[in-house]
Each structure stands twice: as structure tokens, then as C-alpha cells.
Amino acid sequence: MASRPESIAPPEIFYDDVEARKYTSSSRIVQIQAELSERALELLALPEDGVPKLLLDIGCGSGLSGETLSEDGHHWIGLDISPSMLNIAVEREVEGDLLLADMGQGLGIRPGVIDGAISISAVQWLCNADKSSHNPRLRLKAFFTSLYKCLSNGARAVFQVYPENIDQRELILNAAMRAGFAGGIVVDFPHSSKKRKEFLVLTCGQRSMNASVPNGKDEDGESCSDDDMEEDENQTVCISDRHRPRKRPKTNKSGKGREWIMRKKDQMKRRGNVVPPNTKYTGRKRKDRF
């Protein structure tokens, strides 16, 4: 069984000049990328009003998925961490604007300007700690929080992912829900081990409250029934509103609060000791610095 690329090296190292050119020149990969991009664009469910949309292609690589967006008449911004991949995209003269950036550090894009986002086989890279400073949970939080901000109200984001296990799937999905997204996992060809594809479909804003998760496709290219989805034990669908965790009340770990101090001062007075008078500052914790 071939090793997963994210298990071999970080993306900016794995996709060097040789691997990036090999990836882009493979007719099989070009076809797969086109099919996945078309499916992601279908799941975006953009309004058919004839107006081009501004889309974000996260982990755009050499621009293979961006070509599908251009063919559909949309404008797009591509983001990738591999300089070699982006250099090939420039050579191929793709129509989108390209950014060299690490999505795990957040997306530096103006709030509310993106009409939709797609990503093909990229988000699961955030589940790996390639450096000692990398924390997968914090990197996923930075990514989804910044993505939520740059999307317009009601916009969708569709990510084709292939998590290594259920834990990775839940890690990605929970990070998205905590950032405020609503949505879930859409599984195409759930009963095929080879053709099975997972898409994380997310919606942001107030309109996401009434949004429903689309159905996956079966072997015949038709929507799966609810019974088919229930038979797949790995199917995970979750719809959530923005729920921020409540702040826990501050507690005095030593248990020596104002009441304890007042009792001790009364004891000292009864013993005849000189005790400073009580004020509104008695028992109040000092700040670490002024």
C-alpha cells in the first residue's frame, strides 16, 4: 500500500520541483482533479444568475482545480504553500490570482468578499504536526475562523478530504463547527472502497440555519437514499449553529478568598494583635502587573 503524501514530508517539501511537475503532467491526476472540482462546484450550489462569483481555491497547487472554476465563468484566488506548485501554475498561465501562504496560519483576506470556497485533498494536511511549533487543533482553528470571516453571508465552502481515520474526520469537523459553520459530511459512492469520496460541505452566516446537507451519489450517479446513508457506519452528518464555549468563573485555587481573610483578621483581633482596618480592597487579588 502506497504511503500517504502527508505522512512522508510537509507539503512545501514533498511537492518540490520534480514532484510538482510529475503531479501536473499525469493525465490520470488531471482527470481526477477535474471530476472532484466539478463535484465541489456542484455542491457549492451557486445561484444561476449569470453573474461571475469570486471563489477561493485552498491548496490550489498548479491550478488544475482552478481551471474548472474558470471554465464555469468564475473568478478565483488560489492559495498554496508549495512554491514549486505555484511556479508551474504561473507557467501554465492560469487565470486566477495566486497566493503563497500557509492556510494553518489563517487566511489574510478581507472579510465578507468571497462567494464560495473549494479545496481538493488539502485540509487533512493540517492534522499533521510538521514542526515542533505546530498544533493541529490550533491550526485548524486559525484556518476555519479566518475562512468564516472572509466568506459572505450564506456562502458555502466545500472541501474534498480523505482523513486517515475517524479521529481526523472528527477533528476537522469539530473545528469547523466551533468556528461557526453549519454543515456536515457528504459521501459519494459510500459502498465502494475505491471510488468513495468525502466532501465537507459548510455554510456560514444566518442563512446557514435553514441550510441542509446535500445527499451523496451512488454508483449510478444518482442521489443516495436515507437508507443507504444509514447503512454506512462511517457517515457523519452534523448541523450546528455558532456556539462559543462559556467562560468559566474564576476561582481562587488556594481557597483563601475575602471571607477567609476576614475570619483570620477577626481571630487576630481577639488575640490582641494589631490588624489593619478593612477596606474595599481587602481580599482583592492584585493584577500581575500595572
CB 168, CB 127: distance < 8 Å? yes
* Alpha-helical segments (H) within 109-234: 136-150, 166-178, 226-231
- pLDDT at position 196 is 86
Structure confidence by residue, pLDDT tens digits, 37-59? 999 999 998 988 888 999 999 99
Can you tell me the distance from the alpha carbon of 121 to that of 135, in angstroms, rounded to the nearest whole number? 20
Can you tell me the distance from the alpha carbon of 224 to that of 149, in angstroms, rounded to the nearest whole number? 32
User: Strand 182-188's sheet: what is its strand order?
Assistant: 97-100, 75-80, 54-58, 114-120, 151-161, 197-203, 182-188
Q: What is the mean pLDDT of the chain?
A: 82
Q: Is the confidence at residue 114, as pLDDT, over 60?
A: yes
Q: Is the confidence at residue 174, as pLDDT, over 60?
A: yes
Residue closest to 197 by CA, chosen among 235, 157, 226, 168: 235
- Show the cell assigned to 44: 457549492
Enter the pTM of the model. Answer: 0.71
Structure confidence by residue, pLDDT tens digits, 150-171? 999 989 999 998 888 888 899 9
Roughly how many angstroms between the first and final C-alpha of the chain, as a whole number?
60
Query: Mean per-residue pLDDT for 20-46?
Result: 91
